[in-house]
């Protein structure tokens, strides 16, 4: 009987981490860095309890994946010990490429997605662990012949979503996000190499989809959360612009390195070892420390943004159904330039125009499959009387300092 490390998780209780490659990966500095990256960025500006990390989430998703593997095996699906370990590694490392404050700064410091970085880091770890992650990488990249294993890691009903909805609901206190994850997992099965849900689990799936949509508008895309995140992006944009002009920012190490340079995926591919080590040394504390210091920077735009964010004097954000009229944008821009005359380009950083989209369910992606009692399998959107509307909702917004009074 293999020995395991027991961790006490506030959401699921005791989580078992087997000693060996999985435990070694958890102990690796790359993975330990996730302790210092908040799962939901600046959401604690609205929900004070939302201080959990990507470390929590990765372990939770791993725990649910282990449960799903046990359920599938109990229903006759052949999953070898090597495959079970590999899919566990794939879900454990699925977010290891996240940078500081998770999604917020994804395209600000470097022009590369966290999914691409996750693959690069997994490949680097695979070299370090002498090929023991090869199968996990195949599953992660959907190149392994057992497609249902990839679906556990990435899909519309994957263990990633299952954990973050449950966990984010727990730490924010938003009960609309509570899902019956345990029942959904027990309803999973495999049919023709695809993950399916038994028909009797249909209502739990509907609840899962509705909860995800509600959590997006109530938590992830809450207007105050979005305002804070957009302000942080503007702080880093301004800092990067100043650094490119040769202005010192009082920061050292990797943060200064990424502010001075603009790296693409090609750059990471060519200099993978150096750039990944640099990236892996960055976390939330680097950004928070820098912004705290920039409150007193001589650049008035950077200083104003930093002070506003640290003191939670957040910008006003207005959602609207239609894209804002250019006349409204120009009016606010003029008001900003008049009220904050300390820089010619001030409005480029104090006026933010954008949009956010969300859908409960998508038919353009691989659909959730329902295994009917007759043995027939149908996509979720075609199941009679149980269809979730695959409608895309879009909200446009203007975001600007509250000091600006619209007339």
CA distance 15 to 323: 46
The per-residue pLDDT for 55 is 98
Which of 173, 212, 208 is CA-nearest to residue 50? Answer: 173
Report how far apart the first and last C-alpha atoms of the chain are (Å, whole number): 72
Cβ neighbours for 306, distance < 8 A, ≥ 6 positions apart: 235, 291, 292, 294, 295, 297
Token pair in block for residue 281:
């040394």
Residue 98, phi then psi, degrees to nearest 5: -70, 140
| Residue position matching structure tokens 């010990």 | 81
- Cβ neighbours, 10 Å, residue 257: 18
The per-residue pLDDT for 384 is 64
Cβ neighbours for 61, distance < 8 A, ≥ 6 positions apart: 91, 92, 94, 159, 160, 162, 163, 164
Q: Kind of pairing, strands 392-400 and 369-371?
A: unpaired
In the chain, domain spans: 4-222+368-391
CA distance 187 to 68: 9
> Each residue of 40-74: b (16+ CB within 10 Å) or e?
bbbbbbbbeebebbbbbbbbbbbbbbbbbbeebee
Residue 51, phi then psi, degrees to nearest 5: -110, 15
CA distance 350 to 333: 9
Burial class (CB in 10 A: 0-12, 13-18, 19+), 141: middle
Fold of 4-222+368-391: Hypothetical protein af1432 (1.10.3210)
Give the mean pLDDT per block of 10 residues along the chain (407 residues): 87 96 98 97 97 98 98 98 98 96 88 92 96 98 98 96 97 94 97 97 93 93 97 97 95 94 88 92 97 97 98 96 95 94 92 92 90 95 73 92 76
Q: Kind of pairing, strands 369-371 and 13-18?
A: unpaired
Burial class (CB in 10 A: 0-12, 13-18, 19+), 326: exposed
């Amino acid at each position: 009987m293999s020995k395991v490390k027991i961790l006490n998780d506030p959401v699921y209780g005791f989580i078992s981490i087997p000693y060996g490659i999985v435990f070694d990966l958890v102990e690796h500095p790359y993975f330990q860095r996730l302790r210092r990256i908040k799962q939901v960025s600046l959401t604690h500006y609205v929900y004070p309890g939302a201080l959990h990390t990507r470390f929590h989430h990765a372990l939770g998703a791993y725990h649910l994946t282990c449960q799903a593997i046990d359920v599938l095996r109990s229903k006759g699906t052949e999953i070898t010990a090597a495959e079970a370990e590999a899919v566990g590694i794939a879900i454990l490392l699925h977010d290891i490429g996240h940078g500081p404050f998770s999604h917020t700064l994804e395209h600000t410091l470097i022009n590369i997605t966290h999914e691409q970085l996750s693959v690069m880091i997994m490949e680097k770890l695979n070299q370090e662990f002498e090929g023991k992650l090869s199968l996990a990488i195949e599953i992660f990249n959907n190149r392994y012949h057992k497609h249902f294993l990839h679906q556990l890691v990435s899909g519309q009903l994957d263990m990633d979503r299952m954990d973050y909805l449950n966990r984010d609901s727990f730490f924010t206190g938003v009960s609309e996000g509570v899902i019956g994850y345990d029942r959904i997992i027990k309803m999973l099965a495999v049919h023709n190499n695809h993950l399916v849900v038994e028909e009797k689990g249909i209502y739990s799936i509907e609840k899962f989809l509705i909860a995800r949509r509600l959590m997006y508008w109530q938590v992830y895309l809450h207007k105050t959360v979005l305002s804070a995140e957009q302000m942080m992006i503007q702080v880093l944009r301004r800092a990067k612009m100043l650094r490119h002009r040769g202005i010192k920012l009082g920061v050292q190490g990797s943060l200064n390195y990424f502010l001075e340079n603009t790296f693409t995926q090609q750059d990471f591919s060519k200099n993978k070892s150096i750039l990944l080590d640099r990236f892996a040394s960055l976390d939330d504390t680097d950004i928070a420390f820098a912004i705290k210091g920039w409150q007193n920077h001589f650049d008035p735009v950077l200083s104003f943004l930093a002070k506003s964010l640290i003191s939670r004097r957040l910008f006003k954000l207005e959602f609207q159904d239609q894209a804002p009229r250019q006349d409204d944008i120009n009016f606010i821009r003029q008001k900003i330039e008049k009220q904050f005359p300390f820089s010619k380009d001030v409005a480029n950083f104090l006026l933010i125009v954008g949009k956010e989209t969300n859908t409960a369910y998508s038919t353009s992606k691989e659909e959730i499959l329902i295994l009917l009692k007759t043995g027939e399998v149908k996509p979720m959107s075609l199941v009679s009387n149980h269809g979730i509307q695959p409608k895309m909702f879009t909200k446009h917004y203007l975001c600007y300092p509250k000091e600006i009074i619209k007339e």
